[in-house]
């Protein structure tokens, strides 16, 4: 079925579903052109923390984008209110397939007919959670990394996505300081995440086998690659529970993957040491 792409996008809001580590960062990027971004979360406390994060950072981030100007974030726990008039919805809820299927059924029912429905899922292709969607031609993956520092985006069809949506996003997203790259066939992990997964998994294996420590791996990475952080510090920032969820999903698709990296992550997660969001992960200096 053909899809009518949204018009007048400059004067319509973007809605972000979920206010976690990435949800608030996605909202920040869409608040850089003077308009409104709406953040939906059932938790008022989490939503308010996301709104405060956007307010605190938007002026600085917008100043680095050509034509940028600080916008505003509004928080709601009413899904219909969040979606009303939005030209784009970005779902950023936890990596649980049942949850995503339910959310997309609701988004498809409540969003305007020309609203694009995009998922920030880091490991699931959207083809796996459109069971309750009547208009799959408006659904696609749009995976962010860690804006405003890492601003590349994977975009990928659900197998039915109208080509005009991908063309529109390739034109519009750079105006918000984020840059899309199309995965040209369905790929678990998209483009960059597949490459990063191999690096992350081998780093975990080196530590799980007792060959090295997280700190030494990171320091070697920083020296050789010239980056400010290594794989373990970056995993702490993402959240070790999220990293483990992703690794478990890869393992379902590829049973031959070594178990050591997942077992190491599980020890930290079971202990409640999830990284930055709990104050301790592979590092304990986040207080």
More confident residue, 245 or 152: 152
pLDDT band for position 70 (cuts 50, 70, 90)? very high
CA angle 43, 44, 47 (to 5 degrees): 90
Which tens digits make up the pLDDT trace of 92-138?
998 888 999 999 999 999 999 999 999 999 878 999 999 999 999 99
Determine the pLDDT at residue 64: 96
Residue 75: its H or E element: strand 72-76
Rounded-to-integer distance, Cα 101 and Cα 111, Å: 15
CB-CB contact of 38 with 51 (8 Å): no
- CATH entry, 9-182, from 3.40.605.10, 1.10.10.410, 3.50.50.60, 3.40.50.720: 3.40.50.720
Whether the model clears a pTM of 0.95, i.e. scores above it, the answer is no
Which tens digits make up the pLDDT trace of 134-181?
999 999 999 999 999 999 999 999 999 999 999 999 999 999 999 999
CB-CB contact of 247 with 262 (8 Å): yes
Nearest alpha carbon to residue 31 among 138, 146, 175, 165: 175
Domain residue spans in the chain?
A: 9-182, 192-278
Cβ contacts of 269 within 8 Å, gap of 6 or more: 240, 241, 244
Determine the pLDDT at residue 188: 86
Average pLDDT over the chain reads 95
Cα end-to-end span (Å), the chain = 52
Radius of gyration of the chain (CA): 19
Determine the pLDDT at residue 1: 60
Which tens digits make up the pLDDT trace of 19-60?
998 999 999 999 999 999 999 999 999 999 999 999 999 999
Rounded-to-integer distance, Cα 50 and Cα 72, Å: 11
Could you tell me which CATH class the domain 192-278 is placed in?
A: mainly alpha
């Amino acid at each position: 079925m053909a899809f009518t792409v949204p018009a007048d996008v400059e004067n319509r809001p973007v809605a972000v579903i979920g206010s976690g580590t990435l949800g608030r960062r996605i909202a920040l990027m869409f608040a850089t052109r003077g308009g409104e971004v709406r953040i939906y979360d059932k938790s008022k406390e989490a939503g308010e923390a996301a709104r405060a994060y956007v307010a605190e950072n938007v002026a600085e981030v917008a100043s680095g984008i050509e034509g940028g100007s600080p916008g505003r974030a509004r928080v709601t726990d009413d899904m219909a209110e969040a979606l009303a008039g939005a030209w784009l919805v970005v779902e950023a809820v936890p990596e649980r397939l049942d949850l995503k299927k339910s959310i997309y059924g609701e988004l498809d029912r409540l969003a305007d007919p020309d609203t694009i429905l995009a998922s920030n899922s880091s490991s699931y292709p959207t083809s796996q959670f459109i069971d309750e969607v009547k208009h799959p031609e408006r659904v696609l993956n749009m995976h962010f990394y860690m804006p405003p520092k890492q601003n590349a985006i994977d975009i990928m069809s659900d197998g039915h996505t109208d080509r005009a949506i991908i063309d529109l996003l390739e034109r519009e997203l750079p105006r918000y300081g984020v840059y899309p790259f199309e995965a040209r066939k369905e790929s678990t992990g998209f483009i960059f995440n597949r490459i990063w997964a191999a690096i992350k998994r081998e780093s975990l294996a080196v530590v799980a086998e007792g060959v090295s420590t997280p700190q030494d791996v990171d320091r070697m990475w920083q020296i050789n690659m010239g980056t400010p952080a290594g794989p373990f510090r970056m995993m702490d920032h993402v959240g070790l529970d999220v990293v483990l969820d992703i690794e478990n999903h890869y393992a379902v698709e590829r049973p031959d993957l070594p178990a050591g990296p997942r077992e190491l992550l599980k020890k930290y997660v079971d202990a409640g040491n999830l990284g930055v969001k709990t104050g301790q992960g592979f590092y304990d200096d986040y207080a």
